[in-house]
Chain A
Amino acid sequence: MTYYALLFIAGFAGSFHCIGMCGGFACALGADPRGPSATAVRHALYNTGRLTTYCFLGGLAGGLGWAIYSCLGTRSQLGVVVLSESLNAAQRGLAVIAGLLMILMALQFFGLRGVRRVRTGFGGSTLVIALRSLLSRRGHAAPLAFGVLNGFLPCPLVYAMVAQAASTVDVLSGCLTMAAFGLGTFPTMLTMGGLGRLLAPRWRQRGVRLAGSFILALGLVTLGRGLVPMTAGHGLHHIWHFA
């Protein structure tokens, strides 16, 4: 449970990054003329859509992790003794990769330019332009659809979390990982929707740094989970194996 709480906090901290693009969307989604409750529904739908996509991506990543893990696992079973040791090795390998990815994303938040290329989406930019046409559309379907598609837009924060989800090596855990993260972004995004632009750019910058540090820390923990052998200390093991 602690693990998911941590991810929730990561989502919350990370949501300062969201203010950049998705926050703008939330603002543009704006208020419903039919009153505050309709506005609330509008934003709830938007965020539900986003959350669904995140959960789906998390489940997919978890499934992929599981596929890699079980692939390596069955192969090692052909050998004689390896068994659990090598199962752990596969999981650890995934954790190392996920950790490194997350650290890379975090460094990007601190302004490391070289990593920018990661986000070149395929048809992504046209999608963003097209999505704007949904913003002003009335009705309940539009904000929901907008949220769903918004969730697919390239975002380093989401990538980092998906990497984390893959390292859980389980569909359900991956799904829950992204769910916790997604819920973490709710408060800020809902506030943005309600209040409009709230934070001065200086504060936003700090927020992004904060998000970066959090992802960095999480990445380091994940990396550590992969690198430090389980036998090194059971106490340590417990610390990173929150889940």
Chain B
Amino acid sequence: MTAAPDALCRHCLLPLGRRGFARTVNGESCQFCCYGCCIAHQVKSGSGDASEAAWFLVRLGVGSFLSMNIMLFSLLVYSGAFTGADRGVLPTIQLLLWGLATPAVLILGEPFLRETWSQARRGRLSSSALIVLGSLAAYIYSTLAVFRLGGHLYFDTAAMVLMLFTLGRYLEAAGRARASRDLAPLLAAESESATVVEGAEEHRRPVREVRAGMLIRVKPGERIPVDGLIVEGCSHTDDSVISGESRQIAKAVGGSVLAGSINLDGPLLIRSSGAGNASRWAQICRSVREALRQSSRTQRIADRLVGAFVPVVLALAGITLAYWAQHLPFDRAMLVALSVLVVACPCAVGLAAPMAHSLGIGQLARHGCLVRSPRALEALALTRLIAFDKTGTLTLGWPHLVDLEIDGVGGDEVLARLAGLERHSEHGLARAIASAARARGVDPIATEDVRVVPGRGLRGVVHGELVAAGSAALMNELGWQLPSTLVERADLMATSGHSVVFVGWSEGVCAGRVRAALSFDDTPLPEARITIEALRAQGLRVMLLTGDHAGAAARVAATVGVDEWQAGLLPEAKRLALDQYRPHHGAVGMVGDGLNDAPGLAWADVGIAVGSATDLARETADLVLPPGGLWLLPWVVCRARAVRSTIFANLAWAFGYNSVALTCAMLGLLQPILAAAVMAGSSLLVVLNSLRLERLPGPSYPSALPLSAAARPASEGQPAQQAQLEGAAVQRGERRL
């Protein structure tokens, strides 16, 4: 192999595949997925008169000149210009045609020949073999006809087939490059450089060498290379890659900027707040590159078919030749067989999926949505049920402290211990605790050895004493006593739909005790309702799976408009719930964030993590939405479905077209030149059909938010009805439990 199997084509950024090869362009070694991309890349990157691009164009131009002349002279011959009195000129014209055709076939056919040869050495038959065989047969037969046999000449066929395929591949590659336009900046990020200010000097350095604390200068129009704080200057930035939302945000000294956003109108000096390759932007780029390298099931099937195609076509051509040779003169039969060879080039089948995938992944990435692999995109298109986690997904995720019930200790002490413990957590409640502690002026107590107990809470050690915070189940597991006053109070809190956290610690040698119960109120996201309505309008079944209490689940479910929910689920129970629905819905999706959901996300066919998902969740999720990007989900689903239907349209087109054209060719209804044009057109149409994906609308932030604001007073105005709704939801939920 000359190419690593997982590398991307330099030109169109699609995976290299079996046709991949390496070529040196402008002194730089590049990998290309096909000859067309090689051409188009050379044409695009060509500069200076000694460049290879210029050399390629010269060859293309001269080759076209020769073949067009062959075509014109052949037309004259066919139209009978050299009959009668002019008959004597005919041998000269034939010699002239031979003289034109020989360099034309050499110039235009060389790349195809080279590809065939390099594949043949690896023991494979590529589709170029068909082209080479077809045009060489026509050329050799005609050469024999000129010097020996007499009869018709098919130099025009040989030259035009080569020219049309060259042109077709160039156009195809040009189209594919358009598909990669969205992706290029994403992939370039890793190799991008930043202007680092050191004293009075400025250096360009690769982003990955940037460390926290360095000063970076960003000119207007440039992409901000690292996360950081503005030290000097003011400007507007466009954060669409990070937030999914395209709008200008004003930034001034002291403001923070995110890597990947575009600095629109003023020079900025930034103090980097982290390493260059640790930003979310760098992570986006890495994941996009990774996603592009993967292939989907459809793609693998298509590739296998393409591989089997070439020998089949060779056999068909042989059969065709044998059959027609009995009914027609040999040269006519050969022409029919040539049509079969030329028309059956399976390029379109191989192109059907990867281009649609990379367009889809690129567009999602441009709005901050990351897809793990094309497979995830296909699964999302098939998903008929989406389960949501509650906290941080449908709710704001930073609930605030509503009530603090204590049992024999001071409120400040509880908060100080709790804040110290939760400082190590990214869970939604941690922030609420931190801000409550700040509001009371309490300093967190330093806590060591903090461990997450998935689905239950946290535990840590303060001065050798165990501290734990979480559900009643955690307290029971630790064997700590739960005072009945606290339990009663907590039940009351829970039924009013609040999240409850118990806090306890051990003192010296005494067994631990639960000392306090805190209740938190979690507000549903303003866009949750619209998002869920949109998903339902797309024919998806939506449900809520939460580890929280039934009361809280019912309240949130009613507010956001979900009428199926299950509460009190541990991560394993979420997995079971997903399994329970999978048989009826083909594929199931799970939306969540935070540690609690990681097993659920991984278990779902499509795990979707929203926003400030922790690193662990990101590892398990197939799709990551930007922070606060829940509203993007319906758009992403729509996009995934569009990609899938485009691929199927492409495949149907490529197969249908190929089989019809092949039948026509075998019946002798298709001229070889026409067949070449038809084939070049086929892959071009697949490219154009895939490019239609580009024209689908981008996501628009729900302008319906005023609508949700309008809806809210209405529901508040009818509290009785809402209570009824909640009651109904609770009943349903409990039945399920």
Contact = CB atoms under 8 A, between A and B. Distances in A.
Contacts of B44: 126, 129-130
Contacts of A149: 57, 60-61, 64
B175 A148 contact: no
A144 B58 CA distance: 8
Contacts of A142: 54, 58
Contacts of A145: 57-62, 64-65
B62 A144 contact: yes
Given A127-B43, A130-B46, A133-B46, A122 B62 contact: no
A131 B47 CA distance: 10
A199 interface: no
A52 B69 CA distance: 7
A67 to B, nearest CB: 10
B265 to A, nearest CB: 28
A56 interface: yes
Contact of B57 (A59, A131, A172): A131
A126 B43 contact: yes
Nearest to B55: A137
Interface in B55-75: 57-62, 64-65, 68-69, 71-72, 75
Give the most central of B47, B75, B175: most A CB within 10 Å: B75
A123 interface: yes
Nearest to B173: A123
B174 A123 contact: yes
B83 to A, nearest CB: 14
B90 interface: no
A145 B53 CA distance: 13
A115 interface: no
B61 A59 contact: no
A218 interface: no
A141 B174 contact: no
A59 B46 contact: no
A130 B53 contact: yes
Contacts of B175: 122-123
A149 B46 CA distance: 16
Interface string A136-174: 111001101111110000000000000000000001100
A136 B174 CA distance: 24
Contacts of A215: none
Nearest to A142: B58
A171 B54 CA distance: 33
A171 B44 CA distance: 35
Contacts of A127: 43
A221 to B, nearest CB: 26
B62 A172 contact: no
Contact of A49 (B51, B53, B61, B79): B61
Given A52-B65, A56-B68, A59-B72, A133 B49 contact: yes
A137 B43 CA distance: 15
Contacts of B59: 145
Interface residues of A, number: 29
A125 to B, nearest CB: 10
Contacts of A131: 57
Give the most central of B43, B57, B171: most A CB within 10 Å: B57
B616 interface: no
Given A133-B49, A141-B62, A126 B174 contact: yes
A57 to B, nearest CB: 9
B64 A148 contact: yes
A134 interface: yes
Contacts of A130: 43-44, 46, 53-54, 57
A55 interface: yes
A171 B156 CA distance: 15
Nearest to A133: B54
B489 to A, nearest CB: 71
A26 interface: no
A141 B65 CA distance: 10
Query: Mostly helix, strand, loop or mixed at chain B's interface?
Result: helix
Nearest to B76: A172
A175 B44 CA distance: 32
Nearest to A122: B171
B48 interface: yes
B65 A49 contact: yes
Given A123-B40, A133-B51, A136-B49, A53 B58 contact: no
A144 B57 contact: no
B170 interface: yes
Contacts of A146: 57, 61
A202 to B, nearest CB: 35
A134 B174 contact: no
A130 B48 CA distance: 10
Interface in A84-131: 122-123, 126-127, 129-131
A136 B58 CA distance: 12
Interface string A211-223: 0000000000000
B163 to A, nearest CB: 10
Give the most central of A56, A133, A137: most B CB within 10 Å: A133
B47 A133 contact: yes
Interface string A32-55: 000000000000000001001101
Interface in B70-109: 71-72, 75-76, 79, 81
Contacts of B171: 122-123
B287 to A, nearest CB: 29
A123 B65 CA distance: 20
Contacts of B69: 52
A209 B505 CA distance: 92
A14 B71 CA distance: 27
A171 B64 contact: no
Contact of B65 (A138, A148, A172): A148
B681 to A, nearest CB: 12
Contacts of A147: 61
Contacts of B61: 49, 134, 141, 144-149
Contact of B75 (A49, A123, A136, A175): A175
A243 to B, nearest CB: 15
Give the most central of B53, B68, B175: most A CB within 10 Å: B68
A148 B65 CA distance: 6
Contacts of A134: 49, 54, 57-58, 61
B19 to A, nearest CB: 20
A145 B64 CA distance: 8
Contacts of B43: 126-127, 130
A69 B79 CA distance: 17
B279 to A, nearest CB: 32
A55 B62 contact: no
B64 A133 contact: no
Contacts of B65: 49, 52, 144-145, 148
B385 to A, nearest CB: 42
Nearest to A62: B75
B79 A133 contact: no
Nearest to A124: B174
B22 to A, nearest CB: 22
Top 7 A-B pairs ranked by shortest CB distance? A145-B61, A123-B174, A56-B68, A130-B43, A133-B54, A148-B61, A145-B58
Interface of A: 49, 52-53, 55-56, 59, 122-123, 126-127, 129-131, 133-134, 136-138, 141-142, 144-149, 171-172, 175
Interface of B: 40, 43-44, 46-49, 51, 53-54, 57-62, 64-65, 68-69, 71-72, 75-76, 79, 81, 170-171, 174-175, 177
5 contacts: A59-B72, A130-B46, A130-B54, A138-B49, A145-B59
Given A53-B68, A55-B68, A133-B54, 10 more contacts: A49-B61, A52-B68, A59-B75, A126-B40, A126-B174, A133-B46, A142-B58, A148-B64, A148-B68, A171-B75
